[in-house]
Amino acid sequence: MERIAIDMDEVIADALAKFIKLYNRDYNIPLDLKIDAGNEIYQHVPENINQKWFDYINEPGFFRDLEVIPDSQKVIKALQEKYDVYIVSAAMEFRNSLIDKYDWLAEHFPFIDWQHIMFCGKKIVDADIIIDDRSKNFVNFKGRTLLYTSPHNLLITEYERVNTWEEVAGLLL
């Protein structure tokens, strides 16, 4: 059975929407989801507070209540019928995210066994397919890469792209 490695943030968990919500709450400066292609979220806020993104994601609880990316649950459940599915997140980057991410997965993806959750630093994984929003995780990956669309990666053209989980289903199911 082929293995699929699936990223969390901006692939199944909407961290971008959470940042925008917190930013709007704290600064009362409108920031919406219309973000210029190829830019990171912090490039759309005033320079004197553009590091607030990193403060937010390092707070305990930031990752615990993220919204689920539409259709990810039903498609991943269907993928499990055909593939050996793993959730692979660079959770070590944000120390406080480990428990949040584990609990979030248990709540929203209870059908994914704990043995199929990999929290790591660098995503060096032995899989046949990887679905991620960060192309840096495709470097030296030997399998099929699916770049999940996020504003920061819209200018990247050298990888197969998926915009929704329905598109993932169309390609892999």
pLDDT 10s digits, 38-79: 666 666 666 777 677 788 889 999 999 999 999 999 999 999
Q: Are 53 and 19 in contact (CB under 8 A)?
A: yes
Question: Which residue type is seen at 29?
Answer: I
Number of residues written out for the chain? 173
Annotated active-site residue in 7, 14, 132, 133? 7
65 classed as catalytic:
no
Q: Are 168 and 155 in contact (CB under 8 A)?
A: no
Q: Are 121 and 90 in contact (CB under 8 A)?
A: yes
Q: Are 83 and 4 in contact (CB under 8 A)?
A: yes
CA angle centred on 92, ends 48 and 169, rounded to 5°: 95
Question: Which residue type is seen at 21?
Answer: K
User: Given this model, what pLDDT does residue 28 score?
Assistant: 77
User: Given this model, what pLDDT does residue 88 score?
Assistant: 98
Which stretches of the chain drop beneath a pLDDT of 50? 33
Annotated active-site residue in 9, 14, 132, 133? 9
128 classed as catalytic:
no
